[in-house]
Amino acid sequence: MRKVLTILIFILLLGCAAAVKAFDSDVITFKTARRGDEVFAISAERTFYFNNDTKKLCYMFQLSGEWEPARQTAALRTADQKRVVGVLFYPAKSFDGFEGQDLITRFASAITRDHEKDFRRSLKATLTPFEGGRHEAMIWKIVERVDVDGKQGEIPPKIIGHFPPGWVMVVTIGSPENEVLILARQVLESLSTTDRPDCYWPLIREQLPTVPR
């Protein structure tokens, strides 16, 4: 269910020490949607995503422009379905047994192995530094095309980071190649996490009162 509302612009990001300018310097009209622990605040100017899963890790990020909930959990897509951005976190200890000199390379080994099982073939993956983000990260990419439903296609790249401590951050970008880094930087520059037991719900109830309870 979506409703239209007008919200004010300065909010306190829970888990941060100071007030952060999260929306805009003017009043913006947002549509809102809820899917379980996920909350979406959508406008023509920007879209906010909140994940309030207290069993894992609570986080939020934003993207420029108007996006909508994707079919996948923790993902946004454009209305034409030509762009999809997903953000997930995994416990770091889940990758202790994989090959690699650090957490990011161990995760890369695990995700490459998963894709090799899915496509039943060996795949060549690369890891390159991601430049320009607030958090240190690497870009994981399969460099060869694969067969998907009888058509040749590319596996979307992933930006992998060790953030926050004890977790692996994974940002998946399905978009034209020249937009991958732009969208990834938007996510990483706006990404926030909190370990509060009530996650972002107090913030949402105050600033987005029409979100269904």
> For 41-61, how does the pLDDT look when each residue is reduced to its tens digit (9 = 90+)?
999 999 999 999 988 899 999
- In-domain check, residue 174: yes
Q: What is the mean pLDDT of residues 122-127?
A: 95
CA dihedral sign, ordered 139, 59, 89, 147: negative
> In terms of residue numbers, what domain contains 50?
3-207
Which tens digits make up the pLDDT trace of 155-184? 999 999 998 999 999 999 999 999 999 999
Q: How many structural domains compose the chain?
A: 1
Q: How far apart are CA 183 and CA 161, in angstroms?
A: 15
Q: Does some domain include residue 66?
A: yes
Give the pLDDT band (50/70/90) at residue 90: very high
Of residues 9, 18, 26, 15, the one with CA closest to residue 206: 9
**Cα angle, residue 130 at apex, residues 157 and 154 outer, rounded to 5°:** 15
How would residue 29 be classed by pLDDT, with cut points 50, 70 and 90? confident
What does the block give as tokens for 172?
Answer: 């998946």
Residue 212 belongs to some domain of the structure: no
| 74, 86 contact by CB (below 8 A) | yes
Q: Which of 36-40, 84-88, 162-166 shows the lowest mean pLDDT across its residues? A: 162-166
Q: Say what the pLDDT of residue 26 is.
A: 47
Dist. CA 175–CA 183, nearest whole Å: 9
Q: CA-CA distance, 48 to 74, in Å (whole number)?
A: 12
Q: Is residue 156 domain-resident?
A: yes
Tell me, yes or no, whether 161 lies in a domain.
yes
Q: Is residue 213 part of a domain?
A: no
Which of the pair, 17 or 180, is modelled with greater confidence? 180
Report residue 149 as tokens: 């439903």
Q: Is 173 part of any domain?
A: yes
The predicted model scores a pTM of 0.85
